[in-house]
Structure 1
Amino acid sequence: MSALSNSNWDRRNVLRAAMGLAAAGGLTACGGNTGRSGGGSGDSLVQYFHAYGEAGTEQAIKKYAKAYKGADVTTRWITGDNFESKLFSSLLTKQAPDVFEFHPQLQMVKSGQVADLSDLIDPVKDDFNPNDIKSHTVDGKIYGIRMIDDPQFFYYRKSMLEQAKVEVPTTLEELVEAAAKLTTDKVKGVFLGNDLTAIQNVIIFSAGADTIDANNKIAYHTDGVVDGLKQLRKLFTSGNLLLDAPTNFWDPSSLNQGLCAIQWGGMWSMPAMQAALGDDLGIFPFPKIGSSGKQSVYNGGWSMFVNAKSKNLDAAKEYVKWLWIDQKEYQEDWALSYGFHIPPRTSIANSATKLKSGLPAEAVKLFTDFGHFDNISYDQTMQTAFAEVIASSVRKDGDPEKALDTCDKKVDVELKKLFG
């Protein structure tokens, strides 16, 4: 697999661009077309994908589309670092895609932007990871079909930890201490991504807290989260954290090239890391924070949605059903041939031999034991507000309590918009 390009969108960053975009306009300069399918009903569909970094992904999506005979399917492969803004500005225009990938967000449902796909999923609902069903369900209806699950955890160089006589950290204090012992004049102890937003959800989960609770109230503002922010500030100022790396956390280069001893990343990077480091590669979950904390793994991923306002709604749903429900061979190919991802379909995951042994099997176990999925109600505005907490209290020297108070006010406003 080729290294991920700096120009590619940081696709698994939990901080995703705000959705309530006022800008309108088409995407005439973005992406390219696939080959067209060979006929069929005469319907024409357009689907949007962000530019994945793994080699072969664009060709695969276009191959799947070309194989479909029910409609002519054109793929817009959106390059650059602003996929969301291009997608959502397009959704306000007549050039809106019929089908697009994104993440479950309640405001998309509330605004009538995404179609109810319950009729497609219900016959095979029991074959999906129940957490993926839950994260796409609103009032008993399912919006979006999960394509891939992307657990995120720490990778580390075993030899570097052994030489420094460092045990694998299980608490955040131990991670901070390990970073100090692992740092040399050439290597930094830990890499958490260039702006630290990649770990903003696991800070909450590892402190034993949650984003918002079952009653749609704030659940992240706890003493444990405050403690975690203070410890991360200590790490940030220690000189033992890799800052301004050439590529971000989703790219394996920082660990592979020896810039750091421990790197936060996703399962998608595992084949490239194994190819570079062999048996010197290990993984562990984000360490627990405080006495109430527990180790955690954030599960990112991508889902397919149908534009509820599409002029070809029925044709779009048929295509999505064909590809992401019926074509298990393509679903397995998408999950396992271009980096490693966990298939959301239980039947495919259970037969995935690439995930049955060694480090991939360890990753699946971390996913199973420590995984946290997106909450469809914890929307982009809320995520952005918490990202500002990271910026204020970790990257700068702000008071975590005050930063969280400011975040609370913004999140409360959004919760009232969504729930009254």
Structure 2
Amino acid sequence: MAVSRRALLGAGAGVGFLAACGSNTGRGGGKSGSPRLAQWYHQYGEAGVEQAVKRYAAAYDKADVSVQWRPGDYDRQTAAALLTDSGPDVFEGSPSLDQIQGGQVVDLTELLDGVKDDFNPAVLTPKTYDGKVWGIPQVIDMQMLYYRKSLLKDAGVEPPATLDALVDAAKRLTTSKVKGLFLGNDGGAGVLGGTPLNAAGLQLVTEDGKVGFDDPAAARTLGKLHQLYADKSLLLGAPADWSDPAAFLQGLTAMQWSGLWALPQVQKELGDDFGVLPFPKDGSHGAPAVPVGAYGSAVSARGRHRDAAKEYVKWLWVERTDYQEDFALSYGFHIPARISLAKKAAKLRTGSAADAVRFATEHGHAQPLLWTPANQVAYQDGLSRIIKDGAHPESELRSVVRKVAAELDRVKKKS
């Protein structure tokens, strides 16, 4: 099963079964006594990525680095392998709170000395815990709103800058043949996550580890998502879900929420007849919001060559900026995690691509480290009931807040 980098957005480390990791760990002595390091990646769906990362590893002269491509449920495989001696030395992922608190990953803070401010804080923050960095961000994926310029112009609709304007625009753009907006076949509960809350000036989790949406503004904002559903402005049951721009390209919807990865295809098929926007702000305290996510490079605490592994990670994801730009833009369409690289990359300097970089830099929000799978399930279930069932937002959120608060108390007690 080949997984595209779009799956990284919001991806968390899995838990559960012990996968068959195999005995070929790549550890032990390498050529001329140099350490041998095993580096794991999940199986990308984008052509050329595997060859590229193997080329990077082969260019490193201080250790023999064996790249392992891991098909299947990568996050669960990695979570299980970190508990054994047969896992990777270096691995791609988003270290979970359990892995950090359990001492399964190595502190990488020192690797960013002098360059920490050049890493986009939206994706570095979720890899930071207790003031220490546990993963070096590799690349940024983001989501945004695509709109068809010609359809908006014909309907006399301006690109929506507020959530109220988005609700109105979606209704006005809906006809017998075209829906105004596509947020996914479930009406948006799965993909939007905390983005509407961020747009209202709220958070999933506050900096001091408390529920960040125990506020009347949350209910008002999420209630507007139900209005989109009630107005029958949302496209539902599309042949492909939100991550694929097919519905937008086929003219089934005037606006679609999708990812940066779709931009080259949209540009190829629609030319200049489209624009992109962040999720529009809501309320007087709100601001545009953009969900971002990134896998990082981390080091297993059970590796025999931890210092050598750290040195390799620094070389590849801090020092070799040429490889970092190549990884982001040569085998798909992504934003380098380094702000300086994103600003100078030729493919990201004009048009909608430049807009996307600006959105991610100015309005980016990543899922916080304390947002555990249990929190995600409680919130997403509540959001689905609000959007599709018309559940009362205030009462639904009260229940979600109680569950999330209890889960946050649980994880904080372990620290």
Q: Residues 95 and 105 of structure 2 are in contact (CA less than 8 Å); yes or no, is this contact kept in structure 1?
A: no
Q: Residues 26 and 93 of structure 1 are in contact (CA less than 8 Å); yes or no, is this contact kept in structure 2?
A: no
How far apart, in 1, do the equivalents of 2:212 and 2:302 lie? 34
Instruction: Kindly state the Cα deviation for residue 341 of structure 1 after the two structures are TM-superposed.
Output: 2.4
How far apart, in 2, do the equivalents of 1:382 and 1:296 lie? 20
What SS class does the counterpart of residue 279 from structure 1 fall into? Answer: coil
Letter matched to residue 66 of structure 1: A
Q: Residues 224 and 293 of structure 1 are in contact (CA less than 8 Å); yes or no, is this contact kept in structure 2?
A: no
- 1:25 matched to 2:19? The reply is yes
> What does residue range 216-365 of structure 1 map to in structure 2 within 5 Å?
216-365=209-358
Which residue is equivalent to 1:390? Answer: 383
How far apart, in 1, do the equivalents of 2:250 and 2:53 lie? 30
Choose the corresponding residue for 1:151, options 142, 151, 162. Answer: 142
> What does residue range 20-419 of structure 1 map to in structure 2 within 5 Å?
21-27=15-21, 39=31, 41=33, 43-80=35-72, 82-103=73-94, 105-195=96-186, 196=188, 197-419=190-412
What SS class does the counterpart of residue 190 from structure 1 fall into? Answer: coil
RMSD (CA atoms): 2.8
How far apart, in 2, do the equivalents of 1:40 and 1:277 lie? 55
How far apart, in 2, do the equivalents of 1:361 and 1:245 lie? 29
How far apart, in 2, do the equivalents of 1:6 and 1:52 lie? 5
What SS class does the counterpart of residue 11 from structure 1 fall into? Answer: helix
Q: Residues 104 and 135 of structure 1 are in contact (CA less than 8 Å); yes or no, is this contact kept in structure 2?
A: no
What SS class does the counterpart of residue 47 from structure 1 fall into? Answer: strand
Normalised by the length of structure 1, the TM-score is 0.87
What SS class does the counterpart of residue 221 from structure 2 fall into? Answer: helix
Moved more, 391-400 or 352-361: 391-400
Cα 1:224–1:126 change in 2 (3 A) is: closer
Letter matched to residue 310 of structure 2: K
Q: Residues 19 and 76 of structure 2 are in contact (CA less than 8 Å); yes or no, is this contact kept in structure 1?
A: no
Cα 1:6–1:315 change in 2 (3 A) is: closer
How far apart, in 1, do the equivalents of 2:224 and 2:231 lie? 11
How far apart, in 2, do the equivalents of 1:190 and 1:206 lie? 18
How far apart, in 1, do the equivalents of 2:255 and 2:3 lie? 24
How far apart, in 1, do the equivalents of 2:45 and 2:152 lie? 29
How far apart, in 1, do the equivalents of 2:389 and 2:82 lie? 36
Instruction: Kindly state the Cα deviation for residue 101 of structure 1 after the two structures are TM-superposed.
Output: 2.0
Q: Residues 164 and 182 of structure 1 are in contact (CA less than 8 Å); yes or no, is this contact kept in structure 2?
A: yes
Instruction: Kindly state the Cα deviation for residue 326 of structure 1 after the two structures are TM-superposed.
Output: 2.0
Choose the corresponding residue for 1:11, options 7, 10, 15. Answer: 7
What SS class does the counterpart of residue 189 from structure 1 fall into? Answer: coil
Q: Residues 224 and 292 of structure 1 are in contact (CA less than 8 Å); yes or no, is this contact kept in structure 2?
A: no
Q: Residues 225 and 387 of structure 2 are in contact (CA less than 8 Å); yes or no, is this contact kept in structure 1?
A: yes
Letter matched to residue 45 of structure 1: L
Instruction: Kindly state the Cα deviation for residue 42 of structure 1 after the two structures are TM-superposed.
Output: 5.0
What SS class does the counterpart of residue 26 from structure 1 fall into? Answer: coil
How far apart, in 2, do the equivalents of 1:306 and 1:225 lie? 38
Letter matched to residue 204 of structure 1: L
Q: Residues 207 and 224 of structure 1 are in contact (CA less than 8 Å); yes or no, is this contact kept in structure 2?
A: yes
Instruction: Kindly state the Cα deviation for residue 159 of structure 1 after the two structures are TM-superposed.
Output: 1.3
What SS class does the counterpart of residue 119 from structure 1 fall into? Answer: helix
Instruction: Kindly state the Cα deviation for residue 280 of structure 1 after the two structures are TM-superposed.
Output: 0.9
Gaps of 5+ in 1: none
Percent identity of paired positions between Structure 1 and Structure 2? 41
User: Residue by residue, what CA displacement relative to the aligned partner does 1:29-65 show, whole Å, maximum 9, x if unpaired?
Assistant: xxx999xxx9464543333323334333233223222
How far apart, in 2, do the equivalents of 1:214 and 1:108 lie? 20
Cα 1:288–1:124 change in 2 (3 A) is: closer
Cα 1:361–1:244 change in 2 (3 A) is: same
How far apart, in 2, do the equivalents of 1:182 and 1:50 lie? 40
- Runs of 4+ that moved beyond 6 A: none
Q: Residues 6 and 261 of structure 2 are in contact (CA less than 8 Å); yes or no, is this contact kept in structure 1?
A: no
How far apart, in 2, do the equivalents of 1:398 and 1:303 lie? 38
Cα 1:408–1:247 change in 2 (3 A) is: same
Instruction: Kindly state the Cα deviation for residue 10 of structure 1 after the two structures are TM-superposed.
Output: 5.5
Q: Residues 189 and 262 of structure 1 are in contact (CA less than 8 Å); yes or no, is this contact kept in structure 2?
A: yes
Give the number of equivalent residue pairs: 407
Gaps of 5+ in 2: none
Q: Residues 191 and 260 of structure 1 are in contact (CA less than 8 Å); yes or no, is this contact kept in structure 2?
A: yes
What SS class does the counterpart of residue 290 from structure 1 fall into? Answer: coil
Cα 1:53–1:191 change in 2 (3 A) is: farther
What SS class does the counterpart of residue 171 from structure 2 fall into? Answer: helix
